[in-house]
Amino acid sequence: MSDYRILVRRGTQGNQATLYPFNVRDAIPTFTLPLQAGEVEPVIDLKLLLDQVYAEARYDLRIRYDHPPVPPLSEADMQWAEEVIKGTLVRV
């Protein structure tokens, strides 16, 4: 069981796909993006892309970190998240 999953399927593989499971505390796995035959397939670093979107969209000003997340985290993951937030929020 995992909190999140990335599923990548090539059009030529029928019903076969590659599953990349990960949990809230894990690094988001990188994966190769399937393209047309003969094309160079880039490795996608989804964490890097999400970090860029977060910064450019200024989500740090929109997300209410003082409210519990939806859907809720387990108690252990919530304690972990609170420690992460304490360590990364900019102090003024």
Kindly report the CA angle at 47 between 92 and 12, in degrees rounded to 5?
165
Residue 21 CA from chain centroid, whole number? 11
**Contacts for 16 with CB less than 8 Å, ≥ 6 apart:** 9, 10
Over residues 15-36, the pLDDT tens digits come to 999 999 999 999 999 999 999 9
Copy the structure tokens of residue 53: 């979107």
Over residues 35-63, the pLDDT tens digits come to 998 999 999 999 999 999 999 999 988 88
How much is the pTM?
A: 0.78
